[in-house]
Amino acid sequence: MRTPKNCWLALAALCVLALVPAAVSADDVGPAAETRGARIPTKVVAGKLVISCDLSTRFRRVPVNLFVELDTPCGLQLHNQAAQGIRAENRDGSPNEITIHLPDLDIKVPKREHGPTETYEDFTKLHADKIGEVALVGTIGQEILKQYFLAFDLGSGFMRIAPPNAQGTEAEAEDGVTVTPITLNNDLVWLPVSYANGKPAALAVGSATYDTVLDEQVCEGFGKPAGNIGALKLGTLDLGAYVAFRPEEVAHVHPDGVAGVLGLNLLEHLRVEIDRVNRWARITPTKEADYPEQDFAFFEARVADEGDAIEAYLEKYPDVRLSNEAAHLLIDLRLDEDAEADVFERAIKWVNKTYAEDLRATAMVDLMKTLGDAGRTDAVITAGELGIESGRKDRYPDAVHKIHSKLGAIQLERGADRKAWKHLLSAAFGMPEDGLTNLNLGRYYEKVGRYRRAYSRYVQAVIKPESGPAAADGLKRLQDKVSGEERYSVDLVERLIGGKVLSFGAATKYKADKANASNRTVLLEFFTNAHLRPAIGGALGNEGLMQHFPRENVAMLAYHLPAPEMEPMVTQLAIDTARELKVRGPFVHRVDGLVEGPGAARAHQREALYNYVRRQILQSLPRKSDYTIDVTATLDGDVVKGTVTVKGPYFPGNDINIVVAERGVLFPGKSEIVIHRMVVRGAATKDGKPVRFKPKKGQMVVPFEVSLKALSDANRAFLDRIEQDGQGSTSRMSMEIDPGQVTIVAFLRGWSGEVHQAAQVEPEGTEEARR
């Protein structure tokens, strides 16, 4: 069987706000509608209705599993990774039509909706053995299903989706079959029901949950908060004889009053056919009534809202359908009660017992996080030790290693160094590249004075987003103890991580001649984000471009923007520049301000992106410029000062820009780029703004002087304001500008955004600063 992780890579799909049902001819409609359309095998797995089908766009067709939820107001919700697999959207965000392929019925969906990603992933992880070899990636909802004749026959393991009946089609009456009118309200189908006292109400037909839900206000009105209100009649059928009703809040409304929502447990006992066009439903019992006392016992125990009542339920019903839910509720109640350690230990053991043996370690990983967030470190250790006992049998081998990593971190913090070391080594054996495991091993070795081993672990941790900032601090602390006189720097880290991260080098060097060059220095501007996963292709391509072109021919700047996530290299200058140039997002290159090229690609596409942008640069280099720029700059402590001399004709709207950039900045983001090139840190001009070019006798000299500390402080204050405004937060890693990495880039930009000339220099004194 494919693992769930691999399943996601094979999938794709699309959700609808509006959709088009399969074409139906005049011959298709009529009394025989219920025998046509798609007869679809169904499974009820962990209280969810699941079907298997294919999804396709014009690019690809893949098999998937989907939830079927008649009472969920959506068309087709999909996991993002599944949607990417079939190219549900184009690069510009426009949707591609998706087809849901069912037996004898295709449904066209113009666009997808975003689904609950974590729900789909968790379901696949926990129930992969029951849903086959493909992942659960989405939901078919109300907006699709409401356009069809539906028949749920879950007792036989099938449902039918068919073209709608013709107007005037009547339901066929048979002995033992209940035919009832339905009402439609807020796109839900409602069945008329009545309570034991004869009072009428309406029951919505749903398939999103297993239990049939009664509105908790109705239950309170009968004085039966556990849901045992007695009969609930649908015609002559007493629904209360089949299932125990779950009391919950119901958000729906109906003019006749809401009783609740019919669930899968009733659909397993009744065949339910729904004709929206003619407003009738046919209900046929397919199983004998068998009231589930164990379900009612749980709902009754919930009413007490006490841990002891739930624990008593578990002792009586340790392995029934609701035992796992009861065990998790017990954890919540014990947290609320701030229970003693021994009481909490029993609750944790109940959670452990209510999972399949090959999922217990996986379950304990999730429970450890819940308990850790609640501050119950003692309980985290208990859960972890239980998980380790089942680790060898777990279907996900990484689960036990994650447990060891977490326990190692806790024991290290507690000062139990030897226990910590054993756990962390076990974790590293199974997850040798895990950032936090290597970070904590580094801390352990540093604590016991084994500095070279600590240093090595910090090097492995510094390339991971979750551990990079703390690992960089560790490298700084140990630099003098390990490497003698060599100072800590980005260049040092780059050598240390060589071979551990992806890279790209140019195979050739650009050689200027009369045919391919002029007096122009091209400015390549890269708009990116450290957490944008496809940014890796653009960043690696840039490494090749920097090797291929000398800086006398091509100057480069990287503007980090705040989407998809805030990160510490984002600056106000980068945001302002992107706005001024109307840049579409953190995924483009601009050559001399006007020619746009791709700035994002997958890692394996880095050479193609490199070649594409290189061709754009080569087309611009031969264009002679009317301007020249000469830059002199010196570094004195943390102050960079100098002059920029621009020669050329006056033209309205031309501005001189002077930018401070860093050749290399260490920050491991989700893009998997660890060292970022030519990062824009701020303007070197007095007020931080461009200077209008007003030449006298054909030239203009602009002096500049800027403190690197002042720039760093301004960038830190900018991020502080962003956080205070609720626009995102980030670490402050590598906020200090390294004098040894400073570069000055000056350029002349016109009113249209075009760059007429550029220059890039390394201030005098930076070489000494690197030593």
Query: Using H for helix, E for strand and C for coil, what is the string for 23-84?
Result: CCCHHHCCHHHHHCCEEEEEEEECCEEEEEEEEECCCCEEEEEEEECCCCCCCEEECHHHHH
pLDDT confidence of residue 173: 84
- Helix spans in 597-700 (H): 606-620
CB 542 within 8 A of CB 556: yes
The whole-angstrom separation of Cα 414 and Cα 400 is 21
If one counts every other C-beta atom within 10 angstroms of the C-beta of residue 210, the result is 23
pLDDT at 769: 82
Which single residue is written with the structure tokens 């969810």?
48
Query: What are the tokens at 501?
Result: 């991260």
User: What own/partner pairs with CB < 8 Å and gap ≥ 24 does 47-50 have?
Assistant: 47/209, 47/210, 47/211, 47/264, 47/321, 48/123, 48/208, 48/210, 48/264, 49/154, 49/159, 49/207, 49/264, 49/267, 50/131, 50/136
Least Cα distance to 202 among 243, 244, 159, 250 occurs for 250
Distance CA(537)–CA(540), nearest Å, equals 5
* 179-208 pLDDT tens trace: 999 999 999 999 999 999 999 999 999 999
Which amino acid is present at 90? N
> What is the bridge-based pairing of β-strands 213-215 and 246-248?
parallel
Whether this prediction's pTM lies above 0.85 is answered by: no
pLDDT at 485: 65
Amino acid type, 751 = W
CB-side neighbour CA atoms (13 Å) of 668: 21
Query: Would you call 537 helix, strand, or coil by DSSP?
Result: helix
Q: Evaluate whether 167 touches 40 at the Cβ level (below 8 Å).
A: no
DSSP one-letter code for 604? G
The two structure tokens encoding residue 752? 């249209």
Question: How buried is residue 322: exposed, middle or buried, by Cβ count under 10 Å (0-12/13-18/19+)?
Answer: buried
Counting DSSP H helices and E strands in the chain, the numbers are 23, 33
The dihedral over CA atoms of 86, 91, 96, 98, expressed in degrees to the nearest 10, equals: 20
**φ, ψ for residue 130, nearest 5 deg:** -105, -20
Per-block mean pLDDT, blocks of 10 residues, the chain (771 long) = 41 31 33 60 96 96 97 95 92 90 94 94 93 93 96 96 93 91 96 96 97 97 96 95 97 95 97 96 95 97 96 97 97 95 96 96 96 94 96 94 97 96 96 96 96 95 94 92 79 89 92 90 97 94 96 97 95 96 93 93 93 96 96 96 97 97 95 96 93 96 96 96 91 93 97 97 90 73
Contact 30, 119 (CB under 8 A): no
The CA distance from 744 to 764, in Å, is: 11
- pLDDT at position 13 is 33
Amino acid (1-letter code) at residue 252 = H
pLDDT of the residue at 23:
35
pLDDT at 737: 96
Give the model's pLDDT for residue 19: 31
- Bond before 564 cis per omega within 30 degrees: yes
Residues 6 or more apart from 159 whose CB is under 8 A from it?
Answer: 39, 40, 42, 49, 51, 68, 150, 151, 152, 153
In a 3-state reduction of DSSP, which class is residue 592?
coil
